[in-house]
Every structure is written in structure tokens, then in C-alpha cells.
Amino acid sequence: MKFSFIVLVLITGISALQFKAPIYYAKKTYTFNVEIKKKGESCVNNKVYLTTFNEYWPFDNEQKWIGWTEQFNHISVKETGVGESSERIFLHPPRKDKYAILEFSPYPIVHFPLSVGKVWNWNLEIGQFWAKQAGIKNFGEVYNFKYAYKVTKDTSILFDKSFVKCFVIEANCKSPYGNSRLISYFNEKYGFIKMRYLNMDGSRFHFTLEKVQDFKEAKANDKLPVFLKL
């Protein structure tokens, strides 16, 4: 009887682990279309690739390597990290060059289980290095930015030719250097499908997930850099 109970517990536990497959703890390539609108400039559309490597990030053993790039032939470059557990997902956004301003905006973060009305907070100390990268003037030595998150609704949106359920999460930050906001659409299979940034310099970055591929499949099916394709 005791042995049967142990077997039942083990089977139940395994089923629970298999119920929610990892999203970012896998070797995948996520292709995003990004619409960028800065004050006084025309709207620009880019392709951005997020690659997840499923290898531990040496700077934080609770995260694994990822890379963001606009050039497909650079998708093998490891750059920063993502944290994923049964309790939450923490995703570093792209922050190189024109994306540096995203260091100051709310990061894509979810806390499980998700439900409409759920709230959480996060804070991040940012120093002058990132202020210079983002072109922010009169920035002090360091400032502790505080972010407030709330799940505002659940909805269905079109992705990969079918409608998928998403939770809509609104995150806001107020600071002496300006305010920022992130509205993200999160799906428990594909992760962040949409990310709508309003940054503290007034710029807008809209990320829309176009497809998810196995990393090896992506490399095999698309060997040319994106800027060479017609």
C-alpha cells in the first residue's frame, strides 16, 4: 500500500512537471518585428532575433544565456540572461545601441500563477554607464528605479495562424528622469508575444513575435544574414 502511494505521488509529480514545458529554458530562436518611433523621426521597422541557449549564465546561476541581435548571422552570440522557474520569468530586453533606453523601462517579468488583477513590484539600481548609452543627460551617480506591475485582462490574439490566450500585463515607472511603461502580452506556451514600450525619452518600441523555431532549424532554414535577403 505504501509503495503504491509513493508510485502515485511520483507519477503525479512527473505529470505536473510536464504540464508546463519551459519557454525560454530551451534552444530556440524567436523572431520579432520591432516598430520604433522616436520623437521627430520617421517610424522604423526591424527584425530582431532572440536566441535562448539553455546554458547557465556565469554571472547569475539562476539565469541562462540568451542573445538579442538584428543580424541573423549573429544569433549564436551569447549576450545576457533569462530567469525561468515555476514562480516567475525574468527576461532581459535588448539593450545595445538604440535599444539602450530599454534598460530604464520595465523589464518583461511575470509571476505565476497569472490571474487578472494580480500585482507585483520590482526595482533596479541603474548607474551612469547606462545613462550615457541611452543619451540621458544630467543623470546622477545611481538611481533606484521602481516598477509596478498589474495583470489587467486576459484576451486572445492571433499568432501563427491561430488565436492564443494571453494575459495582458501593464507595468509603469515614475522617476525624476521621466516615466516609462510596458504593456506585454504573455502566453504560457510562447512567452511574450507582444511588448509595447513607451520609454522615458518619449520613444516607442513595439515588439511583435512572428515565429518560434528550434535553434538548429532556424540555422538550417535561414543561412543568409537578414540584410542580404530580398
pLDDT of residue 14: 33
Name the β-bridge partners of 118: none
In this prediction, residue 218 carries a pLDDT of: 87
Kindly report the average pLDDT of the chain as a whole number: 89
Long-range contacts of 123-127 (CB under 8 A, 24+ apart): 123/147
**pLDDT band per the 50, 70, 90 thresholds, residue 202:** very high
pLDDT tens digits, one per residue of 204-225: 999 999 999 999 888 886 654 4
| pLDDT tens, position by position, 4-60 | 444 433 333 333 323 378 999 999 999 999 999 998 889 999 999 999 999 999 999
Which has more pLDDT, 5 or 112? Answer: 112
DSSP strand pairing (88-91 vs 64-69): unpaired
Residue boundaries of the structural domains of the chain: 22-228
Q: Which fold has domain 22-228?
A: YmcC-like fold (2.40.360)
Provide the pLDDT for residue 7. Answer: 40
Mind giving me the DSSP string for the chain?
-HHHHHHHHHHHHHHHHHHS--SSSSSEEEEEEEEEE-TTS--EEEEEEEEEEEEE-TT-TT-EEEEEESSGGGTT---EEEEE-SSEEEEPPP-SGGGGGGGTSPP-EEESSP-TT-EEEEEEEEEHHHHHHHT--S--SEEEEEEEEEEEEEEEEEETTEEEEEEEEEEEE--TT--EEEEEEEETTTEEEEEEEE-TTS-EEEEEEEEEEEHHHHHHH--S-GGG--
Predicted local distance difference test score (pLDDT) of residue 71 = 93
- Nearest to 135, CA basis, from 45, 206, 39: 39
Cα-flanking dihedrals φ and ψ of residue 207, to 5°? Answer: -100, 130
